[in-house]
Amino acid sequence: MMRQNELIERVTQYDPDANEALLNRAYVYAMKAHDNQKRASGDPYFSHPLEVAAILTDLKLDDATIAAALLHDTIEDTQATRAEIDELFGDEIGRLVDGLTKIKKIDLVTKKAEQAENFRKLLVAITTDIRVLLVKLADRLHNMRTLQYVRPGTRTRIAEETMDIYAPLAGRMGMQWMREELEDLAFHWLNGDAYDTVVERLKMLRTSHRDLIEEIKSTLSENLENSGISATVSGREKKPYSIWRKMERKQISLEQLSDIYAFRVVVGSVQDCYSVIGVVHTNWRMVPGRFKDYISNSKQNDYQSIHTTIVGPGHSRVELQVRTEEMHRVAEHGVAAHSRYKENSGSKANAHVRSQESNAYQWLQTLVEMLLEGDNPEEFLEHTKLELFHDQVFCFTPKGLLIALPRGANPIDFAYAVHTDVGNHCVGCKINGRHVPLISELRNGDEVEILVSDAQTPPPAWENLAITGKARSAIRRATRHAIRKQYNELGRQILKRAFSRIDRDYDDEILTASLHRLSQKTVEDVLSAVGRGELASADVIAAAFPEAKQAREEPPKRRQVQRHDEGWFNLRKVIGLKFRLPGGSSSDMSSKVNGIPIRGHKGDLPVRFSEGAAIPGDRIVGILTPGEGIMIYPIHSPKLKEFDDESERWIDVTWDIDETNAERFPARIEITGLNEPGTLAQIARVIGEADGNIDNVKMIHRAPDFTIMVIELEVWDLRHLNEIISGLRAQSVVNSVSRAKS
């Protein structure tokens, strides 16, 4: 276990002005507080916070963070209190320790829904001060290093949690070395056989490639020196999990991997970085498609380097990273490089504020803003994992603005990355000047122009097409808003009709005065509840006009009409529908209220079509189903009998077909035809020549001389369907044709 003076010496090596008295007090206080506590390994518990502090000294963090690391378990696991910590060490350290205590209470290894909600709490906690996250990551790293002492079941859950959340989070914060170690440790416990196999193979390759590695390093150093470039060249072997993931992704064996070793060149300036690339590509052949300039286009976690792959000595592929010393520091320490004090930084107060210079930290804050907007926790966790793991592509707006997106993103993601309003009004896109579908995958360097229209709203299906959590979240919000607006309009139509029945004019002010009786906060809430069927219009009238109760309770006169052969049914609520009565007369049930238009069968209102397959030209009626919207039935549907005594559910609807955007509708016909070869072919030919589209054919009865079949097809409207039926009746192999009943 590290001694007190060793810890102080580690801190003062990079920060000579560190408050040694503070660190000494924190060391002694934590050691006494944990006293006789033991870890699962049998070691003194104090060894854990001490190791966490040691990890943070490698990141060269300030004395307050080191002190908080020493104290991070005291409030949770000892008799220490927040007030006592504040009194002895100050408010700043007290806040850090309290934040870490709250995180420790979060259990991320529970079932999925709880894990998602706890992850939200975790991110909210760590965005209050980035140093809380740094201590938490160091805490997790030491726990993973000692995971062998934990029970197998708990060990697996902790390893999964580390692989899913903490490792990618460390990577997003730019702390690549920590991500790699966390992944390797988790990989070891989650897939031990694969881990051992990769490690053994690496040992063999290490022995056989030792001379090759030294040859590459010396040749590269010599070439750079001859070109007058001062550089430090180092080689490293890729981590087992990194290799395994690449094998899985590319479906290749370890022997087929050609870039197991990576070499790093560190130089003094950005200009030298590009000079190195010139020397390298002059002496060795570059592998096409393997050059990436993260200096010109840095990653969201502030990572900067130039990556290239060359065919080096022995025809071996060599991966090369070129960066400056400052870039190397940021690459190693990530967001921590923005959080520590610099010699010329002046006052040390509020040093964590400087962490906001980090793009990685800004990404984290944006993520938290998204989750605070109320998305489903499980969806948020799923989308966040996607963003944590994805590599990036870099695209540009027509004005040259750089947009970084996860690999696999499409123009929908790009539009929402530019601005939420751009995404919501997106109607198309151009990539590199050419019109392309919105589902096209973006590539590095693409120039993307988003075409917008104020009349556009995002279709709900876009949520399944988008890759980024930001886009999916915005699409869900827009969809919820659109649905609420639709229900509001539907509720308003229902109430206008209800008010007219008692000879009153509808007015929002009437509802405003009745909100307390309806237990609703706003007029919009009332309208939405009525539209969804959760609040009956009769209850609204009772609240708005108590004097109308008696009149409302009097049974209305039932007006009945007879349908051809379906018996009697009640049409007193089908207001505004014109239909033909038996005997040839026409009737208009009301002239006061217009019908609610239905745009197509996939329309803007929350509607669904019954199995009866209504098509434009059919007379239709809507039945309101609470929580589901409106079900549309053709006027001849026998199903309508079931709603005779539920007058409040009958909604007047009319067709509203967009002539400029033709759409087919499903219909079903029943055909009785001769049971002989060629009958089905003739039927299909007639339908095809009439521009009908067959979806399905089902034989419902077969006899030696005839067959009864039901054909599901798509037509433009009722006239189109009748033309098809007439054409079929003219065929000698067809005995009868009619529309199929439900």
Residues recognised as catalytic? 76-77
Q: How far apart are CA 339 and CA 5, in angstroms?
A: 24
Bridge-based pairing of strands 402-406 and 392-396 is antiparallel
Alpha-carbon gap, residue 333 to 611, rounded angstroms = 62
Q: Do the Cβ atoms of 514 and 551 come closer than 8 Å?
A: no
Structure tokens at 295: 């200096």
Beta bridge partners of 434: 431
The two three-digit tokens of residue 415, written as one number: 């539009």
> With contact defined as beta carbons under 8 Å apart, do 633 and 623 qualify?
yes
Q: At 598, which helix (H) or strand (E)?
A: strand 596-598
DSSP for 149-200, written as a single string? GS-HHHHHHHHHHIIIIIHHHHHHTT-HHHHHHHHHHHHHHHSHHHHHHHHH
- 416-429 as b/e: b if 16+ CB within 10 A: bbbebeebbbbeeb
Helix segments in 72-129, DSSP class H? 74-77, 82-89, 91-104, 112-126
Residues whose CB is less than 8 angstroms from the CB of residue 142 and which lie 6 or more positions away in sequence, other chains included = 48, 51, 52, 55
Return all residues near 613 (Cβ < 8 A) that are at least 6 apart.
Answer: 634, 665, 666, 667, 668
CA contacts within 13 A on the Cβ side of 502: 22
Task: Give one DSSP letter per residue of 264-325, joined into a string.
Answer: EEEESSHHHHHHHHHHHHHHSEEPTT--EETTTS--TT----EEEEEE-GGG-EEEEEEEEH
Residues 226-253 as b or e (16 or more Cβ within 10 Å = b)? eeebebebeeeebbbbbbbeebeeeeee
Q: What ranges make up the beta strands (E) of 348-466?
A: 392-396, 402-406, 426-431, 434-436, 448-452
- CA of residue 26 relative to chain centroid, distance: 42
E strand or H helix at 720: helix 718-729
Number of C-beta neighbours around residue 496 at 10 A: 16
Per-residue DSSP letter, 76: H
Contact 476, 464 (CB under 8 A): no
Q: What Cα–Cα distance (Å) separates residue 582 from each residue in 443, 452, 561, 563, 565?
A: 65, 51, 8, 7, 11
